[in-house]
Amino acid sequence: MPSAITFLSRLLTPKRWLHDKYISRAEAIGLSQAEEVAAMKPIVSSFCLIIGIYYCVVTANRFLSETGMALWMMFTLSAATAVISFYFHFIYLKRAQKVYQLNVASLTVNLFLFTNPVTFQALHYDPKRLVYFIFLTLMFAMTGISLRVIVPSIVVTLVTVAAMALAHQGYVSFENSAMIAVMIPTAVILAMVVRQTLFRAVESRVRAENLRAEAQSMADSDVLTGLPNRRNFFRVIEAALKRVSDGETSFHLALIDLDGFKPINDIYGHSVGDLLLIEVGSRLRQVCGQRAFVARMGGDEFAIILAGDVDKAALDSFGRQVCDALRDTYFLGGVTANISGSVGVVRCDSAQLTASQLLERADYALYFAKQNLRGAPVVFTEKHEAEMRDFSQVDQALRSSDLAAELSIMFQPQVDVVENRTISFEALARWNSAKLGSVRPDIFIKAAERSGLITEITLLLLEKSLSEVRGWPESTRVSFNLSARDLRSGISIANICNTVRKSGIDPHRIEFEITETAMLTDFEQACEALARLKAMGCRIAVDDFGSGYSSFSYIHRLPIDKIKIDRSFVVQLLKHGSALKIIKTIIDLCRNLNLDCVIEGVETQAEMSKLAQVRARYIQGYLFSKPLPAEQVISYLATETARIESALKAG
């Protein structure tokens, strides 16, 4: 009963019914009008073609079967049907882009198809020929474009059958009534079945296409942030390069690396790290909007392609917007975090460089941004280009040189100003290259770090340093610099431990210096590596403290013995009062945490006097001594001992 009521209500509200059966179905499977037209057009179009051909034959046949007025009427009607059908097939439907246009074609041809037999029956009524209308209803049912057209066509056709029978015979025969009664539901069901089948086919095609599009977009986007991924980035940059080579427009490529992401990931866990990356992604998307393409390259690295001619001011302002957006505080499920982003930018206005060469340059600018100007964009310049060339020269030379012969060590004293004696020497690498001459350590160490050669070089330098230390007094320690790379693998740490063991030197006399940045690159791995060195009895110092994140929050979690305050504070000592205050705070904190505190790079007596005010105890700098060649260490120590002894005697 309820279904009968539903059916009735649907019949009474045909619009809703049609909507449910037809429109909503198309909508539900996400068919756009264009897709719907594409799916249905072949049916109407071939229907028009067949009718056109059929009515050509019928038109010719009129001459055989008709005469006089009837001939002209029937001839005109069939010829018009053929012409109109061909018009729809060859012209109108070719251009049709809307569903209503398909309906217009289908309805018009239906009307002509209907008018032909009606006129024929009006001229010479033949009850047997009423069956012709049955074929019509079937044809309408099968070829109609929408139920809006099909249902009225069928109903009108069959009502006409009844009306004609009534008009000519005075009654509707049982056969005709039965035929009408059967044909209405048959035609409607047939129409629905045809349409359902068609929609299913279209639906599965659309589903397959959606799936393919989804798979494509998954392959092209980063799962975590939803941003385009590396692969997608390369496609976009290749297209941008193509536009440059076609002389259309230049573009800028920016690489962004987060500063301080790793410690957050390590300390608060990966889920907070993930939230942070998602937030970074959405902030970058917001800053870039429509004007730039942003992708996640992997890890905490992102890339932006800024199309079009952008002048320096606009580029600076864009870079600042990116940095400012990244610097805003992050609220990540109960955790508050602050990070910044380093940005390296390269401009591309000629097609001389490939995508990977551009990336290399942006990466170089990024490296520079990280080293020098945290949180501010660095644009790749001619100067960088020259440096990069030198850099690759250094890299080449490092690989092809006899490093065991060319590398040497200098030792710089660290002085206890309270006891007025040297407690330790920092081992500083020197490279006198046969090909390039003397190369600054910061340059060749960086090159070796980038190429991965550093782990080998570290072992070589450590061996050389320790063989010198063997000749020193037992009370003198050595400080040795390690790179981030040295901490990164268990194997390199094991090799370092072996070298220490083989040297026969008491590990308590060996101190390893590691920069904050190196420790925080992979906090967990660094903790593990330091724990192994510590377990042997070696000491650990944090180098260049204050030049990076300068956060005490992680210090207590690491097994360290010493902090070395970066030279940049000493440089500011005589200029800004705050530098001394900062140094004092760090010294006090070290005292509380029971850590030694060395101040690096003290050059003048004026600086030393300032430091005396805050009771700085351990000093390293040119004021006491420049780095000494290995062979001078013993005589330096002997002179120092003699001085101390004579001072004692005098005292």
> Binding residues for ligand C2E, per CB under 6 A?
412, 427-429, 441-442, 445, 461, 481-483, 513, 543-544, 601-603, 620-622, 627
Give, as one character, the DSSP assignment of residue 221: B
Q: By C-beta, is 319 or 627 nearer to ligand C2E? A: 627
232 to 93, 269, 278, 293: CA distances (angstroms): 39, 29, 18, 10
User: Is residue 476 close enough to count as binding Ca ion by CB under 5 A?
Assistant: no
> Distance (Å, rounded) from C-alpha 590 to C-alpha 179?
104
Cβ 253 to Ca ion shortest distance, Å: 33
Cβ 514 to ligand C2E shortest distance, Å: 9
Of the ranges 106-114, 297-305, 435-443, 505-513, which one interacts with Ca ion (CB under 5 A)? Answer: 505-513
Q: How would you class 179 by CB atoms within 10 Å of its CB: exposed for 0-12, middle for 13-18, buried for 19 or more?
A: buried
Cβ 428 to ligand C2E shortest distance, Å: 4
Give, as one character, the DSSP assignment of residue 126: -
User: Is residue 465 close enough to count as binding Ca ion by CB under 5 A?
Assistant: no
CA angle 225, 226, 231 (to 5 degrees): 105
Q: By C-beta, is 360 or 463 nearer to ligand C2E? A: 463
Sequence-separated (6 or more) residues with CB below 8 Å from residue 427: 409, 410, 411, 461, 465, 478, 479, 480, 481
Q: By C-beta, is 318 or 512 nearer to ligand C2E? A: 512
Q: Is 20 a catalytic residue?
A: no
Q: By C-beta, is 243 or 430 nearer to ligand C2E? A: 430
Cβ 445 to ligand C2E shortest distance, Å: 4
Q: What is the DSSP string of 402-413?
A: -HHHHEEEEEEE
Strands (E), 566-631: 596-600, 618-620, 628-629
339 binds, among ligand C2E, Ca ion, none (CB under 5 to 8 A by kind): none
The Cβ of residue 213 has, within 10 Å, a number of other Cβ atoms equal to 10
Q: By C-beta, is 222 or 543 nearer to ligand C2E? A: 543
442 binds, among Ca ion, ligand C2E, none (CB under 5 to 8 A by kind): ligand C2E
Of the ranges 165-173, 380-388, 476-484, 574-582, which one interacts with Ca ion (CB under 5 A)? Answer: 476-484
Q: By C-beta, is 40 or 482 nearer to ligand C2E? A: 482
SS3 annotation, 36-77: HHHHHHHHHHHHHHHHHHHHHHHHHHHHHHCCHHHHHHHHHH
CA angle 182, 25, 180 (to 5 degrees): 10
Cβ 399 to Ca ion shortest distance, Å: 25
Cβ 412 to ligand C2E shortest distance, Å: 6
> Distance (Å, rounded) from C-alpha 150 to C-alpha 107?
8
Cβ 573 to ligand C2E shortest distance, Å: 12
**How many CA atoms lie less than 13 Å away from 271 in the CB half-sphere?**
3
Q: By C-beta, is 130 or 428 nearer to ligand C2E? A: 428
Sequence-separated (6 or more) residues with CB below 8 Å from residue 418: 617
Tokens 């005098």 found at: 650
412 binds, among ligand C2E, Ca ion, none (CB under 5 to 8 A by kind): ligand C2E
429 binds, among Ca ion, ligand C2E, none (CB under 5 to 8 A by kind): ligand C2E
- Output phi, psi for 428, to 5 deg: -120, 125
User: Is residue 625 close enough to count as binding Ca ion by CB under 5 A?
Assistant: no
- Are the CB atoms for 113 and 58 separated by under 8 Å? no
> Distance (Å, rounded) from C-alpha 468 to C-alpha 452?
26
User: Is residue 511 close enough to count as binding Ca ion by CB under 5 A?
Assistant: no
The Cβ of residue 580 has, within 10 Å, a number of other Cβ atoms equal to 20
Q: By C-beta, is 375 or 627 nearer to ligand C2E? A: 627
Judged by CB under 5 A, the number of residues near Ca ion is 4
445 binds, among ligand C2E, Ca ion, none (CB under 5 to 8 A by kind): ligand C2E
Q: How would you class 284 by CB atoms within 10 Å of its CB: exposed for 0-12, middle for 13-18, buried for 19 or more?
A: buried
- Are the CB atoms for 272 and 264 separated by under 8 Å? yes
Cβ 423 to Ca ion shortest distance, Å: 15
Contacts 24+ apart (CB under 8 A), 167-174: 168/125, 168/127, 169/127, 173/127
603 binds, among ligand C2E, Ca ion, none (CB under 5 to 8 A by kind): ligand C2E
Q: By C-beta, is 62 or 477 nearer to ligand C2E? A: 477
511 binds, among ligand C2E, Ca ion, none (CB under 5 to 8 A by kind): none
Report the residue from 59, 81, 232, 481 that binds Ca ion according to the rule CB under 5 A.
Answer: 481
Of the ranges 239-247, 527-535, 536-544, 552-560, which one interacts with Ca ion (CB under 5 A)? Answer: 536-544
521 binds, among Ca ion, ligand C2E, none (CB under 5 to 8 A by kind): none
428 binds, among Ca ion, ligand C2E, none (CB under 5 to 8 A by kind): ligand C2E
User: Is residue 513 close enough to count as binding Ca ion by CB under 5 A?
Assistant: yes
Cβ 441 to ligand C2E shortest distance, Å: 4
> Distance (Å, rounded) from C-alpha 542 to C-alpha 563?
5
Name which of residues 537 to 566 contact Ca ion (CB under 5 A): 543-544
- The catalytic residue among 266, 300, 363, 596 is 300
Residues taking part in catalysis:
300
Instruction: Provide the binding-site residues for Ca ion, judged by CB under 5 A.
Output: 481, 513, 543-544
